[in-house]
Amino acid sequence: MTSKERMLTAFRRKKADRVPVCPDISVMVPAKRTGRPFYELFLDGKEHTGWTSETYTKAYVDTVKYFGMDGWYVYGGLKEIRPPGSPEFIETIVPVPDGRLVKRVCRTSAGELKEAEMFFGDEPSWRDEKPIKNLHEDFKRMKYLLGHDSWKWEKAFRDKDRIGDYGVYSPVVAVFQDWWFNNRHGGFEQCFMDFHEEGKFMEGVHEFWMDWSLAYVRALVEARPDEVMFGGSSASLSISSPDLFRRFELPFLRRASKICRDAGVISHLHVCGRSWELVQIVADETDIDVMEPMEEPPGGNVDIAEAKRRVGGKLCIKGNINTFDFMLNATPDQVEAKCKKLIDDAGSDGGFILSTGDQCGRDTPHANLFKMVEVAETYGRY
């Protein structure tokens, strides 16, 4: 089986030739392997549809091949077709001592939106300034930026072949709290204050976002990706709450996962950190097919054996080894023992992908990643 076939078989909760192995190395490990500053990888000046850059996506695929793991390409998407003259962000790159500061300005007929993102040499970028500062005024401008309706996208993915058979091509749609956090200046505190104190206005924001996001999901499934991933880091219960998940994420996930299910495309929810309280909700109340990374303590609170017992009949599970302590500090022998236990607990009858509880840190020993692959190829053989 190819890596793509193996992952897709597990997504369908069936047995592949072996347990797929796909530790989350989404940014840090491939970037460090190149030996180049992160800002150089991410600001390559080439057109790329989706987040990151063409240069980075190649570094990711190279790293998948280097470790022999099953790939999970989450960097692509569809290019939006916008009416001529539509407002857009114009960016200026300013060299600063710690890296590159990218300043972006968008002029709409309702006024300017501004944002600034710092790209460092040895870690992922950080947005210093986000566009929505004055809630009501800037959201009006944001609607001009996004367009009010009739959204259109290209019909095909430009980079699907980049991962080819080395893994699955999985465009990402951010869930509402992720999207709001990425656009609202002032951090999570401000976002939660908006939800608490501007409830009615935020219902309107949510409705607009949902129309836009569901239109994008429809366009994605028509372009036939291997799966569609809903990125829900900010819905993690390490940050947010079950109430907010029900209020803002569940209505979207129900409809989006049904669009995928009806089109025969797999849907996938990522919620890192504490997520146990959400697992049953997702299994019972949506058509989501895959949930990950089901993070174990101390970063999360999921017992994967219990998750498999409760929801293994409805969800493919991907996870869940701690990254910021175990993967960094464990010996390969300890990694081997841990992976074997995970396969025993969750992988014996398919529907399981051996992975980490979130993204591996940049200094994760390569020996530990190689060991995960080795265990999947030997102990994980069906």
Interacting residues with other proteins (CB under 8 A): 98, 118, 120, 122-123, 126, 128, 187-189, 192-193, 195-196, 237-244, 274, 298-299, 301, 324-325, 328, 361-363
Residue placing its CB nearer to other proteins in the complex, 204 or 242: 242
State the minimum distance, in angstroms, from the CB of residue 296 to other proteins. Answer: 13
Residue placing its CB nearer to other proteins in the complex, 105 or 328: 328
CA distance 169 to 315: 19
**What secondary structure letter does DSSP report for 248?**
I
Question: Cβ contacts of residue 341 below 8 Å, gap of 6+?
Answer: none
Question: 36 is written with which tokens?
Answer: 């180049």
Spatial CA neighbour of 143 closest among 153, 131, 127, 158: 131
Question: 347 is written with which tokens?
Answer: 């992988």
State the minimum distance, in angstroms, from the CB of residue 205 to other proteins. Answer: 16
State the minimum distance, in angstroms, from the CB of residue 71 to other proteins. Answer: 24
Spatial CA neighbour of 38 closest among 89, 92, 104, 102: 102
Question: 115 is written with which tokens?
Answer: 């944002």
State the minimum distance, in angstroms, from the CB of residue 336 to other proteins. Answer: 22
Residue placing its CB nearer to other proteins in the complex, 156 or 193: 193
Residue placing its CB nearer to other proteins in the complex, 116 or 220: 116
Residue 355 main-chain phi, psi, to 5 deg: -155, -175
State the minimum distance, in angstroms, from the CB of residue 17 to other proteins. Answer: 35
Residue placing its CB nearer to other proteins in the complex, 231 or 299: 299
CA atoms within 13 A on the CB side of 287: 16
Greatest CA span in the chain, whole angstroms? Answer: 61
Residue placing its CB nearer to other proteins in the complex, 126 or 201: 126
State the minimum distance, in angstroms, from the CB of residue 134 to other proteins. Answer: 20
Helix runs in 83-236, H state only: 135-146, 160-163, 176-183, 187-197, 199-222
